[in-house]
Amino acid sequence: MERFSARTIDEMGRLALHGDLRQRLGLDTGESVSFVMVGTLVIMQRADGTPAAADTDAISQMNDLGMVTLPKAMRQKLGWREGNKVALYLTDELVIIKSAG
Protein backbone atom coordinates (compact mmCIF):
# COMPACT_ATOMS: atom_id res chain seq x y z
CA MET A 1 0.00 0.00 0.00
CA GLU A 2 1.42 3.35 -1.04
CA ARG A 3 0.78 6.60 0.82
CA PHE A 4 -0.30 8.90 -1.94
CA SER A 5 -0.97 12.31 -0.43
CA ALA A 6 -2.68 14.31 2.27
CA ARG A 7 -5.72 16.42 1.48
CA THR A 8 -7.81 18.93 3.40
CA ILE A 9 -11.58 18.58 3.70
CA ASP A 10 -13.31 21.76 2.51
CA GLU A 11 -16.46 23.44 3.86
CA MET A 12 -18.70 21.26 1.68
CA GLY A 13 -17.08 17.99 2.83
CA ARG A 14 -15.15 17.59 -0.40
CA LEU A 15 -11.59 16.53 -0.97
CA ALA A 16 -9.59 16.85 -4.16
CA LEU A 17 -8.14 13.72 -5.66
CA HIS A 18 -4.67 14.26 -7.10
CA GLY A 19 -4.54 13.97 -10.90
CA ASP A 20 -2.09 11.06 -10.80
CA LEU A 21 -4.39 9.19 -8.41
CA ARG A 22 -7.40 9.78 -10.68
CA GLN A 23 -5.38 8.56 -13.65
CA ARG A 24 -4.20 5.40 -11.88
CA LEU A 25 -7.78 4.58 -10.88
CA GLY A 26 -9.09 5.48 -14.34
CA LEU A 27 -11.50 8.11 -12.97
CA ASP A 28 -12.93 10.86 -15.17
CA THR A 29 -15.23 13.78 -14.45
CA GLY A 30 -18.76 12.61 -13.65
CA GLU A 31 -17.75 9.07 -12.72
CA SER A 32 -19.02 7.66 -9.46
CA VAL A 33 -17.01 6.41 -6.53
CA SER A 34 -18.29 4.37 -3.63
CA PHE A 35 -17.42 4.78 0.04
CA VAL A 36 -17.44 2.12 2.73
CA MET A 37 -16.57 2.91 6.33
CA VAL A 38 -14.49 0.30 8.16
CA GLY A 39 -13.75 1.36 11.72
CA THR A 40 -11.88 4.68 11.47
CA LEU A 41 -11.06 4.22 7.78
CA VAL A 42 -13.00 5.10 4.65
CA ILE A 43 -12.47 2.86 1.62
CA MET A 44 -13.11 4.51 -1.75
CA GLN A 45 -13.25 2.80 -5.13
CA ARG A 46 -14.83 3.14 -8.54
CA ALA A 47 -18.56 2.42 -8.36
CA ASP A 48 -18.63 0.18 -11.40
CA GLY A 49 -20.75 -2.70 -10.22
CA THR A 50 -17.90 -4.67 -8.66
CA PRO A 51 -18.89 -6.98 -5.78
CA ALA A 52 -17.48 -4.57 -3.18
CA ALA A 53 -19.73 -1.81 -4.56
CA ALA A 54 -22.75 -3.81 -3.37
CA ASP A 55 -21.65 -3.23 0.23
CA THR A 56 -21.41 0.52 -0.30
CA ASP A 57 -22.32 3.03 2.40
CA ALA A 58 -22.48 5.97 -0.05
CA ILE A 59 -21.82 7.06 -3.63
CA SER A 60 -20.35 10.36 -4.87
CA GLN A 61 -19.60 11.71 -8.33
CA MET A 62 -16.28 13.29 -9.17
CA ASN A 63 -16.65 16.89 -10.31
CA ASP A 64 -14.63 18.67 -13.00
CA LEU A 65 -12.07 19.78 -10.38
CA GLY A 66 -11.36 16.17 -9.36
CA MET A 67 -13.24 16.51 -6.07
CA VAL A 68 -15.48 13.97 -4.38
CA THR A 69 -17.77 14.64 -1.42
CA LEU A 70 -17.39 12.51 1.67
CA PRO A 71 -20.86 11.80 3.05
CA LYS A 72 -21.87 14.03 5.95
CA ALA A 73 -22.94 11.11 8.16
CA MET A 74 -19.51 9.50 7.68
CA ARG A 75 -17.68 12.74 8.46
CA GLN A 76 -19.77 13.25 11.58
CA LYS A 77 -19.23 9.70 12.82
CA LEU A 78 -15.47 10.03 12.29
CA GLY A 79 -15.32 13.58 13.69
CA TRP A 80 -13.89 14.93 10.43
CA ARG A 81 -14.65 18.62 9.90
CA GLU A 82 -13.74 21.40 7.51
CA GLY A 83 -10.00 21.95 7.58
CA ASN A 84 -9.15 18.45 8.81
CA LYS A 85 -6.42 16.72 6.86
CA VAL A 86 -6.84 13.17 5.66
CA ALA A 87 -4.20 10.83 4.25
CA LEU A 88 -4.88 8.93 1.05
CA TYR A 89 -3.34 5.47 0.61
CA LEU A 90 -3.51 3.72 -2.75
CA THR A 91 -3.75 -0.01 -3.38
CA ASP A 92 -4.33 -1.57 -6.80
CA GLU A 93 -7.99 -0.50 -7.03
CA LEU A 94 -8.81 1.17 -3.73
CA VAL A 95 -8.10 4.40 -1.94
CA ILE A 96 -7.97 4.16 1.84
CA ILE A 97 -8.73 7.45 3.57
CA LYS A 98 -7.77 8.02 7.18
CA SER A 99 -7.24 10.97 9.47
CA ALA A 100 -3.83 12.56 9.01
CA GLY A 101 -4.09 14.33 12.36
Q: What domains does the chain contain, in order, with CATH numbers? A: 2-99 (3.40.1550.20)
**Residue 14's pLDDT band (boundaries 50, 70, 90)?**
very high
Q: Has this prediction a pTM greater than 0.85?
A: no
Q: Which long-range contacts (CB under 8 A, 24 or more apart) does 53-58 make?
A: 58/34
- For 79, residues 6+ apart whose C-beta sits below 8 A from its C-beta are none
Evaluate whether 88 touches 21 at the Cβ level (below 8 Å): yes
Q: What is the pLDDT of residues 36-80, one digit of tens each?
A: 999 999 999 888 755 454 466 788 889 999 999 999 999 999 999
